[in-house]
Amino acid sequence: MHTITRRHTFIALAVLFLTMMTSPAWARLPRPIQATGTAVFVDHDTQSLVFKAGKDMKPLVLDWNKDTDFLKAGQAATAAQLKSGIAVSIHYRKPTFGRPLLTKVFWNSETTH
């Protein structure tokens, strides 16, 4: 009889635990972060960009991949057209691990910021 009570207690706790674990939880991807500043350094070999938003801000190193959009003066561009020292606007995401990932980079001309 003692084992029956333990078994019932274990089953009741297991059912309670499983019902709590199946509660609806919606996970959303984080929205891209937007910033405007200067492309301090562009490394096409490692597909990374050192970006600085302002004089008092620390530089931020971001990576890009094949899904990153590059736009120059509103037209599609390539990463090869992105140069160091120009004013850019960026959209990026912060993954759980690794460096931030650029989703979009756009600039109007070869002028510095």
**pLDDT value at residue 68:** 96
Cβ contacts of 50 within 8 Å, gap of 6 or more: 39, 40, 41, 42, 59, 60, 61
Per residue in 7-60, pLDDT (tens digit) is 777 777 667 666 666 556 566 666 789 999 999 999 999 999 999 998 888 999
Separation CA 71–CA 80 (nearest Å): 12
Q: Looking at the predicted structure, is the pLDDT value of residue 1 above 70?
A: no
Average pLDDT over residues 66-72: 96
Measure Cα distances from 37 to 65, 95, 104 in Å: 20, 21, 14
Q: What is the pLDDT of residue 66?
A: 95
Name the more confident of 95 and 113: 95
Q: 77-102, pLDDT tens digit by residue?
A: 999 999 999 999 999 999 888 899 99
- Give the C-alpha separation, 107 to 102, whole Å: 14
pLDDT at 8: 74
CB-CB contact of 35 with 53 (8 Å): yes
pLDDT given for residue 19 in this prediction: 64
